[in-house]
Structure 1
Amino acid sequence: MARRPTSLAGRLLAFQLGLVAVVVLGVAAVSVAQSRYATEAGADRRARAVAEYAASVPVLRFELTEVAADGAQIAPVVEDLRTTSDVDSIVVTDAAGLVLAAPDDPRLLRTTLTPGDGDAAAGWSGGTTLGDRDVRAARAPVLGDDGALLGTVVVAIDDPSTAALLVTALPDLLTYLVVAGVLGVAGSVFLARRVKRQTLGLEPAEIASLTEHREAMLHGIREGVLGLDVEGRVTLVNEAAVELLDLPEDCVGTPLADHVPEEPLLGLLTGRSGTPEPDRMVVRSGRLLVLTRTDLERGGRALGSVTTLRDHTELVALQQQLVTSRDVSETLRAQTHEFANRLHTISGLVQLGLHDDVVGFIEALGRDSAAADAGVGRQLADPTVAALVVAKASLARERGAVLEVSADSGLPRVAPGLAADLVTVLGNLVDNALDAVGPTPGAHVLLTALVEGDDVLVEVADDGPGVDPAVLHSVFRRGVSTKDGEGRGHGLALVQLVCGRRGGDVRVDSPAGGGAVFTARLPVHADELAAPVGAA
Structure 2
Amino acid sequence: MNNPLRNFKLKTRMTLILGLMALMQTSILGVFALNYLYHSLEEQVAERALNVAKTIAVMPEIISAIELHDSQYLQPLSLQLAKTTNARFVVIGDSKSIRLSHPTPARIGQPMYDDEGDFNEPALLEGLAYVQKATGSLGSSIRGKAPVFDHSGEVIGVISVGFMLDAVDTITARYRTTLLIAILGAFLISVLIAFWFANHFKKAIFGLEPEQIGLLFEERNATLESIREGIIAINADGVITTFNRAALHTLNLQDKTLLLGKPIHSILPDSQMLKVLASGEPQFDEEFWLNGSCFITNRLPVRQDDNIIGVVSSFRPKDELDMVSRQLTKIRQYADSLRSQTHEYSNKLHTIAGLIQIGATKEALALIGQETENHQTLIHLLVAAVPDPILAGCLLGKYNRASELGLVLSIDPDSHMTDIPLHIAREQLVSIIGNLLDNAFEATLSHTGAGGAVSLTMTDLGNDLIFEIEDQGAGISPEDQERIFKKGVTSKDELGHGIGLHLVNTFLMRMGATVTIEPGENVGSRFTVYIPKNTPSIDRIIIEKVSE
TM-score, normalized by the shorter chain, greater than 0.5: yes
SS of the aligned residue for 2:441 comes to helix
Give the superposition deviation at 1:430: 1.9
- CA 1:83–1:357 in structure 2 vs 1: closer, same or farther (change >3 Å)? closer
Give the superposition deviation at 1:306: 1.9
Partner of 2:407: 401
Query: Among 43, 47, 67, which residue is 1:44 paired with?
Result: 47
Matches of 1:346 and 1:246, distance apart in 2: 59
The answer to whether 1:216 aligns with 2:222 is yes
Matches of 2:396 and 2:152, distance apart in 1: 147
Asked if the contact 1:61/1:142 (under 8 Å) is kept, the reply is yes
SS of the aligned residue for 1:249 comes to coil
Partner of 1:87: 87
Query: Among 294, 301, 308, which residue is 2:300 paired with?
Result: 294
- CA 1:372–1:142 in structure 2 vs 1: closer, same or farther (change >3 Å)? closer
Give the % identical residues.
Answer: 24
SS of the aligned residue for 1:438 comes to helix
Give the superposition deviation at 1:314: 5.8
Give the superposition deviation at 1:290: 3.6
Matches of 2:109 and 2:415, distance apart in 1: 132
Asked if the contact 1:136/1:156 (under 8 Å) is kept, the reply is yes
Query: Among 124, 128, 142, which residue is 2:129 paired with?
Result: 124
Matches of 1:397 and 1:351, distance apart in 2: 28
Aligned length: 515
- The aligned amino acid for 2:88 is D
Higher mean C-alpha displacement, 134-143 vs 341-350? 341-350
Query: Among 243, 250, 253, which residue is 2:249 paired with?
Result: 243
Asked if the contact 1:139/1:152 (under 8 Å) is kept, the reply is yes
- CA 1:12–1:242 in structure 2 vs 1: closer, same or farther (change >3 Å)? farther
Asked if the contact 2:293/2:317 (under 8 Å) is kept, the reply is yes
- CA 1:230–1:93 in structure 2 vs 1: closer, same or farther (change >3 Å)? closer
Matches of 1:46 and 1:273, distance apart in 2: 76
Give the superposition deviation at 1:236: 0.8
Matches of 1:330 and 1:30, distance apart in 2: 96
Matches of 1:148 and 1:120, distance apart in 2: 10
Structure 2, gaps ≥5 residues long: 536-548
Partner of 1:169: 175
Partner of 2:540: none
- CA 1:163–1:215 in structure 2 vs 1: closer, same or farther (change >3 Å)? farther
TM-score with structure 1 setting the length: 0.73
Asked if the contact 1:293/1:306 (under 8 Å) is kept, the reply is yes
- CA 1:351–1:143 in structure 2 vs 1: closer, same or farther (change >3 Å)? closer
The answer to whether 1:504 aligns with 2:514 is no
Question: Which whole-Å deviations, capped at 9, do the CAs of 1:103-162 have from their partners, x for residues lacking one?
Answer: 459499235765484677967242343548664323345566888754222112233587
Matches of 2:121 and 2:475, distance apart in 1: 118
Partner of 2:398: 392
Query: Among 515, 521, 524, which residue is 2:525 paired with?
Result: 515
- The aligned amino acid for 2:264 is L
Partner of 2:456: 447
Partner of 2:260: 252
Q: CA RMSD in A?
A: 5.0
- CA 1:326–1:522 in structure 2 vs 1: closer, same or farther (change >3 Å)? farther
- CA 1:294–1:56 in structure 2 vs 1: closer, same or farther (change >3 Å)? closer
Matches of 1:518 and 1:197, distance apart in 2: 65
Partner of 1:109: 110
Question: Which whole-Å deviations, capped at 9, do the CAs of 1:306-343 have from their partners, x for residues lacking one?
Answer: 22233565665576567667666666665665555555
- CA 1:331–1:426 in structure 2 vs 1: closer, same or farther (change >3 Å)? farther
TM-score with structure 2 setting the length: 0.72
Question: Which whole-Å deviations, capped at 9, do the CAs of 1:285-314 have from their partners, x for residues lacking one?
Answer: 466644233333343432332222335656
- CA 1:53–1:343 in structure 2 vs 1: closer, same or farther (change >3 Å)? closer
- The aligned amino acid for 1:251 is L
SS of the aligned residue for 2:272 comes to helix
Structure 1, gaps ≥5 residues long: 526-536
Give the superposition deviation at 1:15: 1.6
Partner of 1:158: 164
Query: Among 301, 316, 319, which residue is 1:310 paired with?
Result: 316
Question: Which whole-Å deviations, capped at 9, do the CAs of 1:257-280 have from their partners, x for residues lacking one?
Answer: 11122x5xx237864999645444
SS of the aligned residue for 2:409 comes to strand
- The aligned amino acid for 2:443 is A
Asked if the contact 1:55/1:153 (under 8 Å) is kept, the reply is no
